[in-house]
């Protein structure tokens, strides 16, 4: 399982109509910022974009894992979007992305946060897991698939 409060149905979107990488990052930033009143969507977006400039977080197989460190985050926060149509994301395999999991971690991220990122990358590397997410039709079903796929929390 994920850490408590890491992911909630309010931060999961199904069948989103998004047409660009920039817009996808903006929507993910809004979802992440909704987790805590001190987080501002514009600042989260800037951090996600800054991280993308270092290199695309497109993992391949239609998956992106945008992430950033941010001082206003007290704990790791996740958000997930399933897209109706894939968008170009400069992924390592040059394939467009239709599944995007974004994560914010505190500026002083611990080993547990790095393990969480590695755990997510491993999950999305599994074809069956990706297909179950693509078949889910609403945020609750997506959240259930994400939580079931996650297994035990890293470090826990």
pLDDT digit string, tens, across residues 101-118: 999 988 887 777 788 888
Q: Is CATH 3.40.930.10 what the domain over 9-150 is classified as, yes or no? A: yes
Q: What angle do CA 42, 47, 52 make, to 5 degrees?
A: 120
Please give the model's pTM, rounded to 2 decimal places.
Answer: 0.92
| Residue 60 in this model has a pLDDT that exceeds 90 | yes
3-state secondary structure of 13: strand
Q: Give percent of the chain above pLDDT 70.
A: 94
Active site residue 67: yes
Identify each DSSP E strand in the chain by its residue range.
Answer: 12-16, 58-60, 63-64, 67-70, 77-87, 97-106
Question: Residue 37's pLDDT is what?
Answer: 87
Residues in the chain: 156
Neighbours of 5 (CB within 10 A): 13
- d(CA 59, CA 100) in angstroms, rounded, equals 10
Active-site position among 36, 47, 61, 67: 67
pLDDT tier, 152 (very low <50, low <70, confident <90, very high otherwise): low
| Residue 34 in this model has a pLDDT that exceeds 50 | yes
Strand partners, 69: 105
């Amino acid at each position: 399982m994920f850490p408590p409060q890491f992911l909630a149905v309010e931060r999961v979107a199904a069948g989103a109509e998004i047409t660009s990488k920039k817009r996808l990052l903006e929507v993910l930033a809004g979802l992440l910022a909704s987790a805590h009143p001190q987080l501002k969507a514009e600042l989260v977006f800037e951090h996600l974009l800054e991280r993308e400039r270092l290199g695309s977080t497109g993992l391949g197989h239609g998956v992106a894992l945008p992430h950033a460190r941010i001082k206003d985050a007290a704990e790791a926060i996740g958000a997930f979007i399933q897209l109706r149509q894939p968008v170009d994301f400069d992924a390592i395999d040059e394939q467009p992305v239709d599944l995007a999991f974004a994560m914010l971690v505190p500026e002083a991220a611990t080993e547990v946060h790095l393990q969480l990122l590695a755990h997510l990358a491993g999950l999305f590397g599994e074809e069956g897991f990706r297909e179950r997410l693509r078949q889910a039709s609403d945020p609750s079903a997506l959240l259930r698939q994400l939580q079931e796929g996650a297994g035990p929390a890293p470090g826990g």
